[in-house]
Structure 1
Amino acid sequence: MAEPVLDDVFGDDITVPATDGYPLAATLFLPRGAKRHAVLINSATAVPRRLYRGFAGYLAMRGCAVLTYDYRGTGDSRQQAPTGHNQPKSLVGFQASMSDWAALDVTAAVGWMRERYKTLPFAYVGHSFGGQALGLLPNNSEIARALLIAAQAGYWKLMTAPERYRVYAMLNFVGRPLTRMFGYMPGKAGLGMDLPKDAFLQWAGWVMSPRYLFDDAKLDSLKNFPKYRGALRALCMADDPWATRPAVELLCSGFTSIKPEIITVTPADTGASKIGHMGFFRPEHRDTLWCGAAEWIQAGE
Structure 2
Amino acid sequence: MTGPGLDDVFSDDITLPAADGYPLAATLFLPRGAKRHAILINSATAVPRRLYRGFAGYLAKRGCAVLTYDYRGTGDSRQQSLTGTHRPKSLVGFKASMSDWAAQDITAAVAWMRERYKTLPFAYVGHSFGGQALGLLPNNSKIERALLIAAQAGYWKLMTAPERYRVYALLNFVGRPLTRILGYMPGKAGLGMDLPKDAFLQWARWVMSPRYLFDDSGLDTLQNFPKYRGALRALCMADAPWATRPAVELLCAGFTSITPEIITVTPAEAGAARIGHMGFFRPEHRDTLWRGAAEWLEAEK
Asked if Structure 1 and Structure 2 have the same fold, meaning a TM-score greater than 0.5 normalized by the shorter chain, the answer is: yes
Which residues in structure 2 correspond to 1:33-52 (within 5 Å)? 33-52=33-52
Q: Distance in 2 between matches of 1:87 and 1:213?
A: 30
Provide the aligned C-alpha RMSD in A.
1.3
Structure 1 residue 87 displacement after superposition: 8.2
Q: After the TM superposition, which parts of structure 1 deviate over 3 Å for at least 4 consecutive aligned residues? A: 86-89
CA distance in 1, matches of 2:241, 2:90: 32
Give the aligned partner of residue 92 of structure 1: 92
Contact 2:78–2:87 under 8 Å retained in 1: no
What SS does the corresponding residue of 1:241 show, helix, strand or coil?
Answer: coil
In structure 2, the partner of 1:127 is 127
**How far 1:79 moved relative to its partner?**
2.2
Deviations 1:129-173 (A, max 9, x none): 000000000000000000000000000000000000000000000
Contact 1:78–1:88 (CA under 8 A) maintained in structure 2: no
- Relative to structure 1, is the Cα distance of residues 233 and 181 closer, same or farther in structure 2, using a 3 angstrom cutoff? same
Q: What's 1:20 paired with?
A: 20
- Per-residue CA distance 1:48-86 (angstroms, 9 max, x = gap): 0000000000000000000000000000000259xxxx9
The DSSP-based 3-state class of the residue aligned with 2:52 is: helix
Q: Is structure 2 residue 131 aligned with structure 1 residue 137?
A: no
Amino acid at match of 1:255: F
Paired residue total: 295
Q: CA deviation at 1:8?
A: 1.8
**Aligned partner letter, 2:174:** V
- Could you tell me how far apart the structure 1 residues matched to 2:10 and 2:118 are? 21
Output the amino acid matched with 2:70. Answer: D
In structure 1, what is the Cα distance between the partners aligned to 2:10 and 2:208?
42
Distance 2:129 2:15 in 1: 21
Q: Show the counterpart of 2:102.
A: 102
- Aligned runs of 1:57-206 on 2, under 5 Å? 57-80=57-80, 89-206=89-206
| Cα distance in 2 for residues equivalent to 1:273 and 1:39 | 29
In 2, distance between residues paired with 1:147 and 1:170? 29
Contact 1:24 1:71 in 2 (8 A): yes
2: distance between equivalents of 1:88 and 1:30? 33
Q: State TM-score, norm by structure 1.
A: 0.96
Amino acid paired to 2:142: E
Q: CA–CA distance in 2 between the matches of 1:87 and 1:278?
A: 29
3-state SS, counterpart of residue 267 of structure 1: coil
Aligned to 1:287: 287
CA separation in 1, counterparts of 2:281 and 2:88? 26
Q: Contact 2:8 / 2:61 at 8 angstroms: preserved in 1?
A: yes
Shift of 1:90: 2.6
TM-score between the two structures when normalised by the length of structure 2 = 0.96
Displacement, 1:4? 5.6
Deviations 1:169-226 (A, max 9, x none): 0000000000000000000000000000000000000000000000000000000000
Q: Does 1:274 align with 2:289?
A: no
The corresponding residue for 2:223 is 223
Please list every run of 5 or more consecutive structure 1 residues that lacks an aligned counterpart in the other structure: none
